[in-house]
A and B are shown apart, each in its own frame.
Chain A
Amino acid sequence: MLARHAKLKFDEARQVWVILVPERVLAPDEIAVEILQLCDGVRNVDQIIDVLAAKYAADRSLIGADVIAMLRDLAEKGFLAEAQDTKP
């Protein structure tokens, strides 16, 4: 799930999703938003890939590669946290 200092939010004024982090605003695309909304601290990465593969009737390995690449990118920037490490 997202770390407490990274907040996913729908920006009403601009009608886009944004991720708010210190000193920056990230603009995730629709798929990234969908992945992050599935990162609820309960599902693991495999389960997230299952949900998306079923929804888009797409090849699980292709979806999986995308999901993992994006989560790794966020994790390297320090914007992800283990579920048990953060406040609910």
Chain B
Amino acid sequence: MSPTLTDASRVRADPSDGLAVLEARKSQAETFGIPLAVLAELTHRCPLQCPYCSNPLELERGGAELTTDEWKRVLSELAKIGVLQIHFSGGEPTARKDLIEIVQHATNVGLYSNLITSAVLLTKDKLAAVADAGLCHVQISFQGSESGVADRVAGLKDAHTKKIEVAGWARELGLPLTVNAVMHRQNLFQLADVIQMAVDLDADRLEVANVQYYGWALKNRAALMPTMEQIDEASRIVEEAEVRLKGILAIDYVVPDYYALRPKKCMGGWGRQFFNISPSGKILPCHAAETITGLKFESVRDHPIAWIWQNSEAFNRYRGTGWMPEPCQSCEYKEADYGGCRCQAFALTGNAGNTDPACALSPVHEQIFRAAMNEAAGGDRRFIYRNFSGGTLEADTHGA
């Protein structure tokens, strides 16, 4: 009768297939069971202008956003069909005036809620109110280890200082804290300091996320792409820290797949264990899926979510392994990585149905990755900041 705890799912960072563990227990494991966790982008509005923003280039305007009542209906629906965790993201989710009401509703229907925030719009009272509404966890993004680099990347003065302050409030309120640090060529030299910052902030988890290149980040690739030497050094620093900080800080490390030989199991496989809800209610297989032109996405305004998950053409197009071309189709790893990333295949080859160029077996792997390495060596520093008008080139004050 030894009690056991199975780590059923690391929703975003771990390749283990948590859904299968849970579904198998009922031995009616549908191929496409409902996800354990869903990402809700409450808005695309954001005071930051990070050049690697994961939102689409074509941002959804405030007027198109779901209303408070629509979000509440969506949350009720999610809870009913078996979603367990909800990540409130954006844009900047705290830009929604009804955030407290939305979090309260998630609590009322039994969803475990996580707030993914830049923190710069929060006051102590507002964070306390969100905590009282039942928020279970908060994740704060950082753009570097100190204001000089961090505020420049965020495109917002004093952002870093504010984030440090809010992280302190989160811990005072007893909220578990994850520090999310997005890393690239222009801040990787601060990685050791970022890790120490997370320890000093009493964070439980640190996500060291190297930039993934779609949308805004692809537009800024020349200014962001790390060198091979930087990645080797980063991996060494993370490995050392993981050992030294065991039991103090959990570190999730996302390597940039441009420098990998095998593609990542993106989203755990297209339409297998994750979906994203856009500010206007579109159900997407991942937050970057709209970069793929020619796919039709369904809205919560038109159909039940369960129906969309099962029937959406956009989900079914790249689900499973049947859609795969060679060399994927006969590859022994096809169910290990489910073909990698469709958005990357589209961005780099023009066809989302092609082999992910991150894979060494892709016919264009060499050519594309040599180009990226040249960009990394090129030293172009200027960012194109993310905004609603298609991006703004950083002023040339660095002699680039």
Contact = CB atoms under 8 A, between A and B. Distances in A.
B3 to A, nearest CB: 4
Interface string B19-45: 001110110000000101100000000
Contacts of B137: 5, 22-23
A50 interface: no
Contacts of B136: 4-5, 7, 20, 22
B26 A15 contact: yes
A74 to B, nearest CB: 7
Contact of B178 (A4, A23, A31): A23
B114 interface: yes
B34 A25 contact: no
B6 A26 contact: yes
Contacts of B25: 14, 16, 27
Given A26-B7, A76-B247, A18 B84 contact: yes
Nearest to B207: A23
A4 B173 CA distance: 11
Most buried by B among A22, A23, A56: A23
Most buried by B among A9, A13, A18, A73: A13
Contacts of A7: 112, 136
Nearest to B136: A5
A22 B178 contact: yes
B199 to A, nearest CB: 15
Interface in A10-45: 11-16, 18-20, 22-29, 31-32, 35
Contacts of A58: 1
B102 to A, nearest CB: 18
A46 interface: no
Contact of B11 (A13, A24, A29): A24
Contact of B8 (A25, A70, A76): A25
Contact of A78 (B9, B37, B204): B204
Interface string B148-185: 00000000000000000000000000111010000000
B62 interface: no
Contacts of A86: 174
Contacts of B7: 24, 26
A42 B205 CA distance: 30
B114 A22 contact: yes
A77 to B, nearest CB: 9
A84 B385 CA distance: 48
B85 A66 contact: no
B84 A20 contact: yes
Contacts of A16: 22, 25-26
A51 B135 CA distance: 33
A23 B112 contact: no
Interface in B241-274: 247
A31 B1 contact: yes
A7 B84 CA distance: 11
Contacts of B175: 5
A86 B173 CA distance: 11
B18 A22 contact: no
A81 to B, nearest CB: 9
Contacts of B23: 14
B82 A25 contact: no
B370 interface: no
A87 B25 CA distance: 33
B9 A19 contact: no
B81 interface: yes
Contacts of A74: 5
A86 B175 CA distance: 11
Given A22-B176, A25-B85, A66 B8 contact: no
A14 B9 CA distance: 15
Contact of A26 (B8, B37, B204): B8
**8 tightest A-B contacts by CB?**
A13-B82, A20-B112, A32-B3, A22-B137, A27-B8, A70-B3, A5-B176, A31-B3
26 contacts: A7-B136, A11-B82, A13-B82, A14-B22, A14-B25, A16-B25, A22-B114, A22-B137, A22-B204, A23-B11, A23-B12, A23-B178, A23-B205, A24-B9, A25-B8, A25-B36, A25-B85, A27-B8, A28-B4, A29-B3, A35-B3, A58-B1, A69-B3, A70-B3, A70-B5, A74-B5
